[in-house]
Amino acid sequence: MATLVLQQLINALTVGAIYALIALGYTMVYGVLRLINFAHSEMFTAGAFVALFAAGLLGGVTGHPGVALLAGLATFVAIGLLGVSVEAVAYRPLRGTSRLAPMLSALGMAVVIQNVVMLAGGRRPLIYPSFLPRGVINVAGAIVSYKQLAILAVALVLMVGLELLVNRTSLGVKIRAVAESAETASLVGINPNLPIALIFFVGPGLGAVAGILYASYYGVATFSMGFVIGMKAFTAAILGGIGSIPGAVLGGLLLGAIETFATAWMPALTHGVIGTEYRDIFAFSVLVLILLFRPSGLLGEHVSEETMVYKRDF
Amino acid sequence: MLIFDHVTKRFGANVAIDDASLTIRPGVITAVIGPNGAGKSTLVNMAAGSFRATSGRILLDGVELQGLPKYKIARAGLSRTYQNIRLFDGLSVLQNLEVALVPRSLPTLIAQAFWLGPGAGAEVRDTCMAVLQRLGIAHLAERQAGSLAYGQQKIVELARAVAARPRAILLDEPAAGLNHGETDELKAHIQTLRGPELAIVLIEHDMRLIMSVSDDIYVMNRGAVLAHGNPEAIRDNPQVQEAYLGQPGAMGNIEAAARGRRNRVRLRAGEGLAWGQS
Amino acid sequence: MALMPIAVVVVGVFLPAYPLRILDLVLLYAILGMGLNIVVGYAGLLDLGYVAFYAIGAYTYALLASPQFDLHLPFLLILAIGAGLAALAGVLLGIPVLRLRGDYLAIVTLGFGEIIRVLMNNLDWMTNGPQGIARIDEASLFGWRVSTPVDFLYLLVGLAVLTFLFVWRLQESALGTALAAVREDQDAARGCGIDTTGVKLIAFATSATIGGVGGVVFASMQRFVSPESFTFWESLSIVLVVVVGGLGNPFGVMLGAGLLVLVPELLRAYADYRQLLFGVALVLVILARPMGLIRREYGPSWFARKLMAR
């Protein structure tokens, strides 16, 4: 029993770390622009496919650590640049208009990216060669794969890097200033475009790496896999408190845990009425419950309406 | 009558309002002044329902406003204008006023939308037009609110606040951003609001406007009420001079303004005409 | 204006079967678009799960008028039940979300649409899962059997006219004013005494009701339903109908419905690129004409004034 719980905990942590990496992109964009970046989920998908392409250029041996690292880096940069261009083309011209417009634009970009991936990578699920090391170790009876350890390690490194970037660099100060209030920041001479561009580089970059990890972990990639994962990651961001970077990490890990344990125990608890096919519904239930009882999330500050509501709420 | 009864508001360790008691009587214009950070805006926002006081009561004609949602506070008879104008930019001026007169009950709204029940359209329209007429901006009725000049927008916001026939009205820095001429126009309009039933609160920095238009003044400093009295008494109060005005030189301006007031009252009748022509 | 539906009927009656079916589809999308427009165009809220209400309507008809449970209730009764269930779902979904900021609605409705689809896929005992429900009854109205595309043309034109008149009245009524205020500045609307949560809930439920009605008609038209018809893509298409045609303008919605149905038909040969083109079109329209092809001002009231003035 204890072993089973330990096993599930490790599985939960792995999935949660991937959710957290994606949630970071949602939360940073939302924190600064108050925009649900629907295109973000497709950065995740595109990341998985671009990495495969990059590995192909590097000789095709995805399991080789050097190839994996280089391909990962190249993907981070490529998708990061894609993110920056999407912001410049589709979001920036709409800044300061109604809030409906950028969301619709983001939705359009999501459709565009997803279809480009489909046209390039095909409609059918792709068997994904893993970029992660193979093999397993036994920890107190639970089986931990090197894949899982690698995912946790990569996620940890990226999160620490982001933490340093945001809290220890002058660029990070600018990001936080713009997130606080773009207007005030511009009064003290901060051009908001630079920090915003940086966010649109880092967020999609992290999402892309999450895509590689996810596809490597499960061994498949489809052009449409971003949709559901994206919704879950956004739920994680709200769960943790949207706009909060530690919140996104906590939310991701928690959601991973809720989902893993609910999927494992629900069928037994409900005598099979609720089966594993409802896995995707748990995340949504969490979302609605959070919105009902604690809309500011776990780590989000309770913002008074005065500061939250903009001239046009929508 | 709008009453702040021993109201205290803390933000964390910060005391924004410190046991303030104010009584705003109907029929007079009550100004609340004080340096930046004195708590004037906090007071307004608290009354309008943006946040709750830590302790104390806020009563409008005997009804406790604390804890009511914003729209219920508005329905209780409190309307307001905003420091930075908040009109419905995409709607016409007339529509902006009509919003204030939307029927309160949801069933009525549904019934009207389904062609049941009487459509009160024409009546509401007439009421709104009358208000616009009174403020001299009837010719702007069909213009899009967002396309108007700043000064005009301020008057439209005032009109919207009045349209619902409130029992108390909070004017949050109405003269901010206006030039001298526009301020004088605004003053004339504030004067016309005066009625036996309506309690008017004026939050302002423009001493000239305050001294010339208000009947009763509360001076706030660091969240507490420092002084209370008519303009002359406030002008002569040494505590106010020291705490709020800082240096003795500022006093001269106030006196000039107070003198100017008497002159201007006589001019008032002519002033209302120039509005909207800019 | 009254001539338009008559013109549609006259033209429709002489059309061959295939274009007639497309015309029916345009009308159906126009009805759905006018319904969704209440939430997106009037209240300024993004609903990305409209298809859920459509699906509720469709499955209501499929379950109550087919051999599935051997129930064969009359069409009109099911129309009322389907509309009622959709409205109920709208209220239940709206209550937790609509008191919050508008953009949460987008993500929650997106999730809700998916949930409904997952349920339809998995509640095999009820919905037959992915196989769907076939052999659905023919619709009949007071003894009039609605079965051929021409019959549906009459039915859809009638419904479209009713919907059009209703949303026009709604927009011009005090409720429309309240929704416009919510769209422009929610907080200031509250300051004017508007129960913003209440009016948004009415808008959401009304919109859901029209979606449910559309679903019932859809099921009676296809006489077959399956989860495949109710994907996120369908929701997005209806959003596109509204956004491309003209936010807050029923005429725009009709134009949008026409374009969204006809263009893909014309581009059949390039079916693989269809969604890509839709995505590009959405971004371009938002960037170039954020209010859609026909602006809000040029709605039915403007048109009526023009006619009167002549």
Chain B nearest-CA residue for C181: B88
pLDDT at C275 over 80: yes
Within a domain: residue A314?
Answer: no
Q: Is residue B180 part of a domain?
A: yes
CA distance B89 to B144: 7
Average pLDDT, chain A: 87
Contact with chain A for residue B146, Cβ under 8 A: no
Residue C310 pLDDT: 72
* B256 shares a domain with B179: yes
Antiparallel, parallel or unpaired: β B216-221 and B29-33: parallel
**Which contacts of C160-163 are long-range, i.e. CB under 8 A and separated by 24 or more positions?**
C160/C5, C160/C27, C160/C30, C160/C31, C160/C34, C161/C5, C163/C31, C163/C34, C163/C35, C163/C210
Could you tell me which residues are beta bridge partners of residue C71?
C66
Domain end position, chosen among B105, B140, B164:
B164
Residue B36's alpha-carbon distances to B32, B240, C132, C209, in angstroms, are: 12, 15, 67, 52
Residues B176 and B217 both lie in one domain: yes
Which of C246, C44, C125 lies closest to B88 in space, CA to CA? C44
A306/B contact by beta carbon, under 8 A: yes
Contact: A109, C286; criterion CB under 8 Å = no
Indicate whether B85 belongs to any domain. no
In a domain, B156, yes or no: yes
Residue B52 touches partner A, C-beta closer than 8 Å? no
Determine the residue of chain C that is closest to A287 in CA distance.
Answer: C108
Contact call for C96 and A104, based on CB within 8 A: no
Nearest residue of C to residue B159, measured between CA atoms: C192
Number of domains in chain A: 1
Domain CATH for A295: 1.10.3470
Same domain assignment for residues B98 and B214: no
Mutate to test the interface with A, among C40, C42, C98, C103 (most CBs of A within 10 A): C103
In a domain? residue B38: yes
Q: Which residues contact A52 (CB under 8 A, 6 or more apart)?
A: A62, A126, A128, A129, A221
What is the structure's pLDDT at B246? 57
pLDDT score recorded for residue B253: 53
Chain A, 125 to 184: residues with Cβ < 8 Å from chain C are none
By Cβ distance, the residue of B45, B51, B86 closest to A311 is: B86
Three-class HEC string of A143-208: EEEHHHHHHHHHHHHHHHHHHHHHHHCHHHHHHHHHHHCHHHHHHCCCCCHHHHHHHHHHHHHHHH
CB contact under 8 A, B50 and A311: no
Both B160 and B194 in a single domain? no
Residue-wise pLDDT for C281-297, tens only, equals 899 999 998 888 888 88
B-chain residues near C166 (CB < 8 A)? 113-114
pLDDT tens, position by position, C233-263: 899 999 999 999 889 999 999 999 999 999 8
Q: Does C187 touch chain A (CB under 8 A)?
A: yes
What mean pLDDT is predicted for residues A166-184?
A: 82
Shared-domain flag, residues B238 and B119: no
Mark yes or no for CB contact A112/C283 under 8 Å. yes
The answer on B199 and B159 residing in a single domain is: no
Domain assignment present for residue B276? The answer is: no
Q: What is the pLDDT of residue A277?
A: 72
User: Residue B179 is part of which domain span?
Assistant: 2-77+166-269
Q: Are residues B65 and B176 in the same domain?
A: yes
Q: Is the pLDDT of residue A267 over 90?
A: no
Residue finishing a domain among B164, B187, B218 = B164
Q: What is the C-alpha to C-alpha distance for residues A286 and A306, in angstroms, rounded to an integer?
A: 27
Total of domains in chain B: 2
pLDDT for B115 beyond 80: no
CA distance A182 to chain C (A): 20
Q: Which helix (H) or strand (E) holds B21?
A: strand B14-24
A74 vs A72: CA distance, rounded Å: 5
Look at residue B186 and tell me if it is in a domain.
yes
User: Which residues of chain B have a CB within 8 Å of the CB of C206?
Assistant: 113
- Asked if residue B249 is part of any domain, the answer here is yes
The amino acid sitting at C232 is: F
CB B4 within 8 A of CB B56: yes
Cβ-based neighbours of A57, under 8 Å, separated by 6 or more:
none
Q: Domain containing B72 — which CATH number?
A: 3.40.50.300
Same domain, B151 and B180: no
Domain, as residue range, for A181? 2-308
Do both B50 and B160 map to the same domain?
A: no
Going from the C-alpha of C80 to that of each of A65, A131, C85, the distances in angstroms are 63, 56, 9
| B217 and B119 belong to one structural domain | no
> CA C111, CA C10: separation in Å to the nearest integer?
42
Give the number of B-C residue pairs with CB atoms closer than 8 Å. 100
Residues of A in contact with C129 (CB under 8 A): none
Whether residue B84 lies inside any domain: the answer is no
Considering the domain architecture, whether residues B262 and B171 belong to the same structural domain is answered as yes
CA dist list (Å): A243 to A246, A300, C100, C147? 9, 7, 16, 54
pLDDT exceeds 70 at position B248: no
| A304 in reach of chain B (CB within 8 A) | yes
User: B90: which chain C residues are within 8 Å (Cβ-Cβ)?
Assistant: 180, 183-184
Please identify, among B147, B164, B181, the residue that sits at the C-terminal boundary of a domain.
Answer: B164
Residues B150 and B18 in one domain: no
The neighbours of chain C, by the rule of 3 or more Cβ pairs under 8 Å, are A, B
Tell me if A313 is assigned to some domain: no
